[in-house]
Each structure stands twice: as structure tokens, then as C-alpha cells.
Chains A and B, each alone.
Chain A
Amino acid sequence: MSAPAIETRDLTRRFGRRTAVEAVSMTVPEQAVYGFLGRNGAGKTTTLKMLLGLIRPDAGTARVGGVDVVRDRMGAARKVGALLEAHGFYGNLSGRENLDLTRTLLGLPKREIDRVLEVVEMTADAGRRVAGYSLGMRQRLGLARAMLGAPPVLILDEPTNGLDPDGIADMRRFLRSLPERTGAAVLLSSHLLGEIEQTATHVGILGQGRLVLEGALERLKADLAPEIAFAVDDTARGAALATARGFEVATADDGLVARLKPGEDARTAAAALNRALVEADVAVFSIGARPRSLEGIYREVSAPSPSPKTTLQPQPEYA
């Protein structure tokens, strides 16, 4: 079995008395698009900088492409391409010239520039000075630069920043297709939950420097405290019944939404609540599982006082 694309164990970094990243153990599987979420100041940038060998951890380990970042920074750097929030382009040079600088430092053949320019559809504008580029063009050029040499791991910090809606949709499609097209795993840091939800296969959520949730996105949505919507004729009585049976309940015009406890079997719980409602003469018109949105999960786990990292157990699917 090959090593994960990125793996950290108890990664910790302190700045003076403040612990920016505390015992983060994250795993980005090969060919995954891993959405890295967290509020401002949660420790995302510090974690990314440690993965890129830009700052040293106070404790713990970080491996990129199976290479320890602290012990062999150069070896790990060969495995990764990065698009950072600050693009770092030289405005006096053209897009092609900027790429050529990095290509030279990486010791790659010239044709690599044409390849990555084609991938991000920037060939026509590559001869223009970067000073005249829009933010979106700089983002695409940054992505092209990160892909020079086809590294097996890509670390992208807010790659949709500054893009217009069409550009965002293009970027989303592009990022989703990257693992299949290039074989690379993508670590995608973003504050746009919808963006991550539509792009990522896996997510990791940081809260106050700690990784509070991690897993495959689809499984998280399915397993983490699912919600069941009941369309009923008497919402108030239905809600009271559900609450009495220990459900967390929200009401809407056409019924109620009962949230299950993490790990609770959704089918059994739905059947039990349905039976209770019917026996209490509350008419039930429909029952439906409501898929959890990433936003809901995010708000739940990234609250100011996060609980330790949630461990997910496989749950039976609720049909």
C-alpha cells in the first residue's frame, strides 16, 4: 500500500504563548481533493506553511508524498506544487517569463511551460506582462506554475479568489478533474464552503488550531448526525413528541426536522418516531432523509470551543 499524499501526526506550532496549530493529525489520500476548512486564524495557513517547509513545527511530523518535510525539505518540496494566496509574480515579466523562472529552478524542459499553459488555457496571454493581468489570470497562472513538473501533490490556497462566476465554475471543474487527469492529490484551502462541497472528495476542518473533523465528504454527510424531515399535519404536537423522545427538533411550515445523534441508526430512529407520531394521531404525509450540507457540519464542529477530532464509524445507509 502506498503512502498517503499528505500525512501529519500531532503537528504542533506555537508562536510565543499562542498555539497556532495543536496536535493536528491529518491524512490526505492519494488522488483525493481534500478541502481544508477553518475560520480565519484557525491555523490553516500555518499548517500549509509547515507542509511546504516554510516554517518548522515545534512538535509532530509532516510527510508529503511519503517524505518527511523536516528531515528532507528538498525531497518533500520535489513532491509538491503550491499556489499560495500571495502569488509572488514579477510584474515586469510576462506570464511565460515568470513560469520560465520556476521551470529553470526546477530543472525542467522548456516544453513544460507550454503544457501547463495549455492546461489552464493561458497560452494566448502568456506573452503579456503580469502587471497587466487580472486577478483571475494570475490565479490561473499560479495554478500553471504549481503544476510545473506534474508534482504528485498540489497545495492550493484559495484558488478561486478573484475569479468571476464563470471562472469559478471552470476552476471547480478543473480541480475536480485534476486527480484523474494528473494523478495528483489536491489539498484545497478555502473559506468558501459551497466551493469545497462541490469540489472536494474529503474534508478536514480546523477549529482553534485543532483538526476537529476529517473524512470522506460523502461519508461525513451520510454519517454525521443525519436529519429526517417529517411532513405532518400538526407540527407543534409532532415536535413536542419528537423532543420528548430525545431528538433535536427544528420546525418548518410543512413539518419538522429531527436530527439524530451521531452514530444512531437512521432507519430505526425514523421508524420509531413515525410510529410514535401515528399512534398520537399526528398525520404523517412523507418522511425523507435530508442530506447534511457541509455548511451545517462546518458550523457544528468549528464553533469557538471545538471538541476533539470526531472519529467516524461506518453507518448503514439510510434509504
Chain B
Amino acid sequence: MLAVLSVEIRKLNRSLAALLAVAAPTLIAVFVFFNMLRGKAPSPWDMWMGSASGIWAFFMLPMSVTALTALVAHMEHGPRSWDHLRALPVPRWQIYAAKAACVLALVAAMSAAVLALTWGAVELAAAIKPQLRPTGAFELAGYARTLAMMFAAALLLVAVQLWTALRFASFVPGLALGIGGTFFAVVATSAKQGVVLPWQMPVNMLATEAWRVNTALGLGAGLGAVALVLLVLHLSRREVL
């Protein structure tokens, strides 16, 4: 399994998927940087980190997962490499499990990058305009915990998007599902039922009501883990004609 995993990681070298994994958190940090420079009075760390993780969970995470799964799947669909991969003396479930692990690792790395780059952006802006240096403490553990919960709540979203991207050779079903899901997640933000929508589960980690947090986390992480196992089983047994 380690060999298959290392192959999946090496495929990302100089790929668009790797570029996206860097670009998405960077965009959030750039936004926070310029937003802070526009300010007239200092704001607390909580505000900057809350705004970065809010943008991440609300919009950037679902859209990034949509694009990332499409790009990772297209690395095989594009050059039609499934036949080559599936003809090798490697258990097929390992190929799909490694792909899922790779996507999850990228999403986790992006979540960590949101934290690190936002901290860097705020520090840089504070160095340029010292009078805007944020107030309060930088609660690393708290911010990391929130982002980790968002990641866990996003497991179902990752499973749904990855299955669609791997199952269909075309970009279109995955992108349509991801854009549609994100759209409904945005318009149904305050709706009670929105909490069961995979694309809205990560942003519910910022909710003040405990039931929302618990429901989204339980469904996202629990069903997500089950869905990832089913994805691997289904795709590895399926014939690719």
C-alpha cells in the first residue's frame, strides 16, 4: 500500500492539483492581508482567523474539493491510464484507496495552509502598518481545532465529489455537482435542513448552536468514512470499459 501511496503522491509533482492546493489557501491569505491593510483600527486575532476559516469553510473548501477531485481524477481520465493501472499486479482497491488518501492529505494540507498563511498575512500586514497589529492572543490550538473539525466534517463532501470525479470520465458531472452543492449550501445557510447538505457541513463547525456542530460533524465524518470505504469497494470492482 505504501508503494501505491508514494506513486499517487509523486504523480502530483508539477500538476495542476498541486498548484490548486497552494493557490486556494494563498488567495484567502491575500484577501485577509489587503483587508487588514484597508483597516483604520486594529482588530482581534479572532476576527482575522474567524474570517479566514469562514471563507474557507463556506466557499473555498467545497469549491476546492470540487476542483481538486476533478483534477486528481483527470490525471487518469485524461491520458486514459486506468487500463494501464488496473492491468498491473496491484490490488485495485489499493489504487483507489491511495487516491482517496492523497486527496484527503491535500485537503488537510490546505486546511493547515489556511492557518499558516493567514497568520503570515496578518503578521506581514502588521509589519507594514504596526498600528494595525491585531489585539488579543493568537490561539493556535483553538484555530487548529476548528480547521480540523471542518476537515473531518468535509469527509462526506470529499467522498461524494471524489466518487463522481472517478466514476465519470468527463469533468462535467463532478463540477456540476460541486457548483450546485456549493450554491445550495450558500443559499440554505440559515435553513435547518442545510446541515445535512455535505457542502454545508464544514461551515457548520462555526455555528453557535451545538446541535448544528454535532450533527454536521457526526454526519460528515461518520458517513464520510463509510462512503469512502464504499467508494473504494465500488470502483475497484467495477469494470472500466
> A interface vs B, CB < 8 Å?
15, 49, 52-56, 74-75, 77-78, 80, 82, 84, 86-93, 97, 100-102, 104-107, 129, 145
Q: Is B79 an interface residue (CB 8 A)?
A: yes
Chain B, Cβ-Cβ closest to A84: B83
* 14-32 of chain B: CB within 8 A of chain A: 14-16
Q: Is the CB of A82 within 8 A of B241?
A: no
Q: Is B85 an interface residue (CB 8 A)?
A: yes
Q: Which of B10, B13, B79, B239 contacts A54 (CB 8 A)?
A: B239
Whole-angstrom CA separation of A78 from B87 in the bound complex: 9
Whole-angstrom CA separation of A74 from B241 in the bound complex: 19
Q: Is B129 an interface residue (CB 8 A)?
A: no
B66 to chain A, nearest CB (A): 21
A88-B82, A92-B14 known; A104 vs B88 contact (CB < 8 Å): no
Whole-angstrom CA separation of A75 from B75 in the bound complex: 27
Q: Is the CB of B81 within 8 A of A88?
A: yes
Chain B residues positioned under 8 Å from A145 (CB to CB): 84
Q: Which of B14, B16, B87 contacts A93 (CB 8 A)?
A: B14
Q: Which of A91, A105, A129 contacts B88 (CB 8 A)?
A: A105
Whole-angstrom CA separation of A87 from B87 in the bound complex: 13
Q: Which of A74, A88, A100, A104 contacts B91 (CB 8 A)?
A: A74
Task: Identify 16 new A-B residue pairs, CB closer than 8 A, beyond the known A80-B87, A93-B10.
Answer: A52-B83, A54-B86, A74-B90, A78-B89, A82-B84, A82-B87, A88-B79, A88-B80, A88-B81, A90-B11, A90-B79, A91-B79, A92-B16, A104-B7, A105-B4, A105-B88
Q: Is the CB of A93 within 8 A of B13?
A: yes
Q: Is B6 an interface residue (CB 8 A)?
A: yes
Q: Is the CB of B239 within 8 A of A56?
A: yes
Chain A residues positioned under 8 Å from B137 (CB to CB): none
Chain A residues positioned under 8 Å from B87 (CB to CB): 52-54, 77, 80, 82, 84
Q: Which of B6, B75, B89 contacts A90 (CB 8 A)?
A: B75
Q: Is the CB of A97 within 8 A of B10?
A: yes
Chain A, Cβ-Cβ closest to B75: A90
Q: Which of A87, A93, A107 contacts B3 (CB 8 A)?
A: A107
A141 to chain B, nearest CB (A): 12
A88-B83, A92-B13, A101-B7 known; A106 vs B239 contact (CB < 8 Å): no
Q: Is the CB of A77 within 8 A of B81?
A: no
Top 10 nearest A-B pairs by Cβ distance?
A: A88-B81, A86-B80, A77-B89, A88-B84, A52-B87, A92-B14, A78-B89, A74-B89, A101-B7, A92-B15
Chain A, Cβ-Cβ closest to B8: A101
Chain A, Cβ-Cβ closest to B6: A104
Chain A residues positioned under 8 Å from B90 (CB to CB): 74, 105
